[in-house]
Amino acid sequence: MKSIQKSKVIHRIGNGSLFRSGPIAILGFVLILSGCSSARTMDLGVSIPSDAQIVTLSSVLASPSSFNGKTFVMKGVISSQCASYCEFVLKDGVYKATIYPQGFKFPKLPVGKPVTVYVQATVGDEQVVLSALGLKID
CB-neighbour burial class of residue 51 (10 A; exposed 0-12, middle 13-18, buried 19+): exposed
Q: Mark whether 25 and 62 lie in a shared domain.
A: no
Of residues 74, 33, 68, 36, the one with CA closest to residue 52: 74
Q: Which domain holds residue 9?
A: 2-37
Q: Mark whether 48 and 113 lie in a shared domain.
A: yes
Angle at 81 between CA 80 and CA 86, to 5 degrees: 155
Q: In this predicted structure, which of 15-24, 57-66, 97-106, 129-138 has the lowest mean pLDDT?
A: 15-24
Percent of the chain with pLDDT over 70: 72
Instruction: Say how many domains are in the chain.
Output: 2
Q: Mark whether 81 and 29 lie in a shared domain.
A: no
Residue 66: DSSP 8-state: G
Q: Mark whether 64 and 95 lie in a shared domain.
A: yes
Q: Are 99 and 44 in contact (CB under 8 A)?
A: no
Q: Which helix (H) or strand (E) holds 43?
A: strand 42-45
Q: Mark whether 17 and 82 lie in a shared domain.
A: no
The CATH number covering residue 99 comes to 2.40.50.140
Q: Mark whether 119 and 61 lie in a shared domain.
A: yes
pLDDT at position 88? 97
pLDDT at position 125? 85
Q: For 3-31, give the DSSP string.
A: HHHHHHHHHHHHHTHHHHHHHHHHHHHHH
Q: Mark whether 31 and 53 lie in a shared domain.
A: no
pTM, two decimals, is 0.71
pLDDT at 116 over 90: yes
Computed over every residue of the chain, the mean pLDDT equals 82
Q: Mark whether 26 and 47 lie in a shared domain.
A: no
Higher-scoring residue by pLDDT: 33, 114: 114
Residue-wise pLDDT tens digits, 20-70: 555 554 444 444 444 444 457 899 999 999 999 999 999 999 999 999 999
